[in-house]
Structure 1
Amino acid sequence: MTNPEKLNAIREQMKADGVAAYIIPSADPHISEYLPSHYKCIPFVTGFTGSVSTVVITQDFAGLWADARYFEQAEEQLEGSGFELVKLKVQHSPEYIQWLSETLTPGATIAFDEKLVSVALGELLHKQLAYQRTQFKHKDYLSPIWENRPALPAQPAFLIADEHIGQSVADKLTAVRNAMKQHNAKYHLVSSLDDMAWLFNMRGADVSYNPVVLSFALISETEATLYIQSDKLTADDKANLAKSGVSVLGYDTIAKDLQFLPAESSILIDPRRNCFALYKLIPTSVQKILETNPSTHLKAVKNNVEVNNTRQAMIKDGVAITQFIKWVKENIGQVEITEISAAAQLREFRAAQDGFIGESFNTIAAYKAHGALPHYGATEKSNVAIEAEGLFLVDSGGQYRYGTTDITRVIPMGNNTEEEKTDYTLVLKAMIEGCKTRFPKGTCGYQIDAITRRPMWDYALNYGHGTGHGVGYFLNVHEGPQVFNATATAVPVELGMITSIEPGIYRPGKHGIRIENLVLTIADQTNDFNEFYAFESLTLAPIDTTLVKKELLEQSHIAWLNQYHANVYAKLSPFLNEEEKAFLGMMTSQL
């Protein structure tokens, strides 16, 4: 079926059921950001492949709500699909709810698959549309028209030994139960896959780029049950979990068990990380405590084993990045290099490193104007050759058995304009400003975001995405609860958190520049005013300085960059051959 045919088929079902509007979120029953193929509903219906969006269908309009990161991509991919792009004013905001309230007649019926809607979103829809007397139905209009829909993933899962992760499953369950007591919760439902992976020291391959496993957990004061496809874990793994007080049941059994929770008990549920369908199965006599998963905060603060292992992963990754930059610079004009072939070559360099499992996300290899698309992904249709001019942006990352990486570097290819040089220098200055900042305990991400943007604001420049996101330990490359963006999220930046700092400048039709390091929050000093924290730059890779306009930098930025490059050379050079070492020495020479 073509996209317009799929749209018509959905509308026919809506008409038969008396449904005025159908909502398709980008989610699965675990409210994941990255989805198994089985749940890639929006790409199936619309052809749009961006990772975050929402579709709303009525009988006379079909819209896809997406933010600034995807405007150009969506315009291109939605052409001829029957769907129109609706540009979000605020990133991650459900602005389509207001549109529905203004568009639908009072008493109209809205439908959505409750397995794909979070508790928070389901409640918000009911609350904001209550005055319209809106009716809601649980409907799946995609399964009847989705021929050869991909099956749920069946790859095996595995457990990581305690000594390689720094904390046992039993200790993690104890920490979660202590948090449950603080909330007076007798039970706790966990659906989010990264929390599941952390809690049970379990990894898998059910979702591209993220080493997670489709599973749920129900934790009580004395018991813990892992709901997972039975053949995903070996008998030894199940026995090891049993020693930690964990029983294993079938993936779908969670629905039945929730319906039989004891009356007058209480359950802790993260409204943003659990689906509306499971929430509605819980008996009304059970008190529902809506709070963030305790594991979300526990997971964000890395222990010493995780930190030290991540440092080793950064060395491996930095070697691969250095080899890649050298390869690009030495082969441009000698052999054809395209966006796709460059990304493939980078993967080969990473794959040669010990402990490499795979990429942590789809590599953004974006040449010239493609760099102005923050979430660009080269396709056979869009793929272009890299030439000896302009800028080549590469945002990539690796999953290693001992850490997760995420790094962006921009490679100047030659004949660069003054505008490119100025933009490059200001992005670098902003990245350094964020990395070198000292801040008091209790500082939140929006404050770091503003500090990082200041050098660009001085020139009336800005960027439409956040400055940084949390990063997991051999887990999701996007991890909360901390986030460096303009949203006033009251989550302090704590010791042991790993976060990205990645400012950018994007000029549509010209170029995009983003420079990114991952940083670890460390103790700095304590005085009469407060405990002060700082950042250790974990990422170890050269930053090209050939375009830098030194006069735009302050001495503190130059000093930071020179010290950073000295550290990069010291850490990476022992793992390079003589040619590579000489290249790195040139790239990290003092500014």
Structure 2
Amino acid sequence: MTYSEKLTAIRQQMKADGVAAYIIPSADPHISEYLPDHYKCIAFTTGFKGSVSTVVITQDFAGLWADFRYFEQAEEQLKGSGFELVKLKVQASPEYIQWLGETLPNGATIAFDEKLVSILLGELFHKELAYKQINFQHKDYLSPIWENRPALPTNPAFLIADEFIGQSVSAKLTAVRQALKQQHAAYHLISSLDDLAWLFNIRGADVSYNPVVLSFALISESQATLYIQHNKLSASDVASLAQSGVEILAYDNIANDLLFLPAESSILIDPKRNCFALYKLIPASVQRILETNPSTHLKAVKNETEVANTRKAMIKDGVAITQFLKWIKDTIGKIEITELSAAAQLKAFRAKQDGFMGESFNTIAGYKAHGALPHYAASKESDVAIKTESLFLVDSGGQYRYGTTDITRMIPMGDNTEEEKIDYTLVLKAMIEGSKTRFPKGTCGYQIDAITRRPMWDYALNYGHGTGHGVGYFLNVHEGPQVFNATATPVAVELGMITSIEPGIYRSGKHGIRIENLVLTIADQANEFNEFYAFEALTLAPIDTTLVKKELLEKVHIDWLNTYHANVYAKLSPYLNEDEKVFLGKMTSEV
């Protein structure tokens, strides 16, 4: 079926059911950002491959709501599909709800698959559209038309030894149960895959780039049940979990067990990370405590073992990045290098490193104008050759058994314009400004975001994405609860958190520039005013300085850069051959 035929088939089902609007979110029953193929519903329906969007279908309009990161990608991929791009004004805002209220008549019916909608979003639908007396129905209009739909993944999962994690499953369960007592909750439902992976020290390959396993968990004071597909775990892993007090049941059993929660009991459930369908199964007599999963906060603060291992992963990753930068500078002009072949070569360098398990996300390799697309994904159709001019943006990351990396570096290819040099220097200045910040305990991400942007605001420049996101430990490259963006999220930046700092400038049709390091929150000093924290730059890789306009930098920025580069050389050079050491020495020489 073509995308237009799929749209027609959905509308026919809607008409038969008296449904005025059908909503397709980008989600699965675990409200994941990255999805198993089985739940890539928007790609199936529209052809759009971006990771964040929402589709709304009526009888006379079909729209895909996406933010700044995906505007050009969506317009290209939606051509001829029957779907139109609707540009979000505010990132992650469900602006389509207001549109539905303005578009639909009173008493109309809206349908969606309740397995793909979070509790928060499901409740928001009812609240925001109550004034129109809208009716809501649970409908799945995709399964009847999705021939050969990919099955749920059956990849095996495995447990990580406590020595690589620094905390046993038993200890983590104890910490979660202590949080449940504080919330006066008798039960706790967990659906989010990274929380489950952290809590049970389990990893797998059910979702591309994220080493997670499709599962649910129900925790009480005396029991811990992990719901997972049969034969995912080895007999020895099942026995190990049993020793930690964990029972294993079939993946689908979670629905039945929620139905029979004891009357008058209570359950803690994260409204952002659990689906509306499971929420509705909880008996009315059970008190619902809607709070963030305790494991989300516990997971974000890395322990000493995780931090030490992440530092090792950064060395391995930095070696691969250095080899890649040398390769592209030595090879350009001698053989054809394209966006896709460059990304493949970078992966090959990483694959040689001990403990490498795969990429942490699909490499963003954007040459010239493609760099202006923050979430660009090169394809056979879009792939272009890299020439000896302009800028090449490479945003990539690796999954190692002992850490997760995420790094963006710019490669000046030659004959660069004055505008490119100024933009490059200001992005670098902004990244350094955020990285060198000293801040009092209790500071939140939106404050770090503003500090980072200030050097660019001075020139009336800005970027449409957040400054940074939390990063997992051999887990999801995007994790909360901390986030560095303009949203006034009341989550403090705590000691042990790993977060990205990645400002950018994007000029449509010309170039995009982004420079990214991961930083660890560390103690700085304490005095009568407060405890002060700082950032340690975890990422170890050279930052090209050939375009830097020193007159745009202050001494503190130059000093930070020179100190950073001295550390990069000291940490990476022991793992490089002589030619690579010479290359790295030049790349990290003082500005």
Same fold per TM (> 0.5)?
yes
Q: Name the residue aligned to 2:289.
A: 289
2:316 aligned partner, one-letter code: K
Distance in 1, Cα, partners of 2:6 & 2:408:
38
Distance in 2, Cα, partners of 1:317 & 1:375:
21
Aligned-pair CA distance for 1:130: 1.0
Aligned-pair CA distance for 1:262: 0.1
Q: Name the residue aligned to 1:264.
A: 264
2:4 aligned partner, one-letter code: P
1:271 aligned partner, one-letter code: P
Q: Name the residue aligned to 2:523.
A: 523
- 3-state SS, counterpart of residue 92 of structure 1: coil
The 10-residue stretch of structure 1 (351-360 or 126-135) with the greater mean CA deviation from structure 2: 126-135
C-alpha offsets along residues 552-591 of structure 1, whole Å, 9 cap, x if unaligned?
0000000000000000000000000000000000000000
Q: Name the residue aligned to 1:74.
A: 74
Distance in 1, Cα, partners of 2:164 & 2:310:
11
Distance in 1, Cα, partners of 2:163 & 2:378:
39
Distance in 2, Cα, partners of 1:377 & 1:279:
35
C-alpha offsets along residues 54-98 of structure 1, whole Å, 9 cap, x if unaligned?
000000000000000000000000010000000000000000000
Aligned-pair CA distance for 1:48: 0.3
Q: Name the residue aligned to 1:407.
A: 407
Distance in 2, Cα, partners of 1:165 & 1:481:
20
Q: Name the residue aligned to 2:214.
A: 214
- 3-state SS, counterpart of residue 232 of structure 1: coil
C-alpha offsets along residues 299-342 of structure 1, whole Å, 9 cap, x if unaligned?
00000000000000000000000000000001000000000000
1:79-158 counterparts in 2 under 5 A? 79-158=79-158
Distance in 2, Cα, partners of 1:404 & 1:126:
39
1:462 aligns with 2:471: no
Distance in 2, Cα, partners of 1:569 & 1:199:
36
> Percent identity of the aligned residues?
83
2:364 aligned partner, one-letter code: I
- 3-state SS, counterpart of residue 581 of structure 1: helix
Distance in 1, Cα, partners of 2:220 & 2:191:
15
1:351 aligns with 2:351: yes
Distance in 2, Cα, partners of 1:63 & 1:17:
21
Aligned length: 591
- 3-state SS, counterpart of residue 231 of structure 1: coil
2:257 aligned partner, one-letter code: D
1:408 aligned partner, one-letter code: T
- 3-state SS, counterpart of residue 111 of structure 1: strand
Distance in 2, Cα, partners of 1:221 & 1:63:
46
1:588 aligned partner, one-letter code: T
Q: Name the residue aligned to 2:386.
A: 386
Q: Name the residue aligned to 2:336.
A: 336
C-alpha offsets along residues 468-498 of structure 1, whole Å, 9 cap, x if unaligned?
0000000000000000000000000000000
Distance in 1, Cα, partners of 2:89 & 2:180:
37
1:473 aligned partner, one-letter code: Y
Distance in 2, Cα, partners of 1:577 & 1:313:
19
Q: Name the residue aligned to 2:324.
A: 324
Distance in 2, Cα, partners of 1:313 & 1:531:
29
- 3-state SS, counterpart of residue 574 of structure 1: helix
1:449 aligned partner, one-letter code: D
C-alpha offsets along residues 523-552 of structure 1, whole Å, 9 cap, x if unaligned?
000001000000000000000000000000
Distance in 2, Cα, partners of 1:354 & 1:163:
17
1:237-276 counterparts in 2 under 5 A? 237-276=237-276
1:552 aligns with 2:552: yes
Distance in 2, Cα, partners of 1:228 & 1:412:
48
Q: Name the residue aligned to 1:301.
A: 301
Distance in 2, Cα, partners of 1:149 & 1:223:
36
Q: Name the residue aligned to 1:169.
A: 169
Q: Name the residue aligned to 2:581.
A: 581
Distance in 2, Cα, partners of 1:137 & 1:41:
18
Q: Name the residue aligned to 1:441.
A: 441
Q: Name the residue aligned to 1:65.
A: 65
Aligned-pair CA distance for 1:230: 1.5
Q: Name the residue aligned to 2:508.
A: 508
Q: Name the residue aligned to 2:533.
A: 533
C-alpha offsets along residues 180-226 of structure 1, whole Å, 9 cap, x if unaligned?
01110000000000000000000000000000000000000110000
Q: Which runs of 5+ in 2 are unaligned?
A: none
1:26 aligned partner, one-letter code: S
Distance in 2, Cα, partners of 1:372 & 1:390:
12
Distance in 2, Cα, partners of 1:296 & 1:230:
26
Distance in 1, Cα, partners of 2:162 & 2:338:
43
Q: Name the residue aligned to 1:226.
A: 226
Distance in 2, Cα, partners of 1:124 & 1:386:
46
Aligned-residue CA RMSD (Å): 0.3
- 3-state SS, counterpart of residue 571 of structure 1: helix
C-alpha offsets along residues 24-46 of structure 1, whole Å, 9 cap, x if unaligned?
00000000000000000000000
* Superposed structure 1 runs of 4+ greater than 6 Å apart: none
Aligned-pair CA distance for 1:425: 0.1
Aligned-pair CA distance for 1:258: 0.2
1:159 aligns with 2:133: no
Distance in 2, Cα, partners of 1:267 & 1:278:
12
2:415 aligned partner, one-letter code: N
Distance in 1, Cα, partners of 2:303 & 2:459:
40
C-alpha offsets along residues 417-442 of structure 1, whole Å, 9 cap, x if unaligned?
00000000000000000000000000
Distance in 2, Cα, partners of 1:296 & 1:529:
30
Aligned-pair CA distance for 1:414: 0.2
1:11 aligned partner, one-letter code: R
Distance in 2, Cα, partners of 1:115 & 1:538:
38
Distance in 1, Cα, partners of 2:112 & 2:506:
36
Aligned-pair CA distance for 1:287: 0.2
1:365 aligned partner, one-letter code: A
1:418 aligned partner, one-letter code: E
Distance in 1, Cα, partners of 2:123 & 2:162:
39
Distance in 2, Cα, partners of 1:516 & 1:141:
41
1:104 aligned partner, one-letter code: L
2:223 aligned partner, one-letter code: E
The 10-residue stretch of structure 1 (339-348 or 126-135) with the greater mean CA deviation from structure 2: 126-135
Distance in 2, Cα, partners of 1:326 & 1:92:
38
Q: Name the residue aligned to 2:278.
A: 278
Q: Name the residue aligned to 2:364.
A: 364
Distance in 2, Cα, partners of 1:235 & 1:15:
50
Q: Name the residue aligned to 1:377.
A: 377
- 3-state SS, counterpart of residue 210 of structure 1: coil
2:452 aligned partner, one-letter code: T
Q: Which runs of 5+ in 1 are unaligned?
A: none
Distance in 2, Cα, partners of 1:264 & 1:117:
26
- 3-state SS, counterpart of residue 230 of structure 1: coil
Distance in 1, Cα, partners of 2:467 & 2:186:
38
1:47-66 counterparts in 2 under 5 A? 47-66=47-66
Aligned-pair CA distance for 1:112: 0.2
Distance in 1, Cα, partners of 2:46 & 2:327:
38
1:73 aligned partner, one-letter code: Q
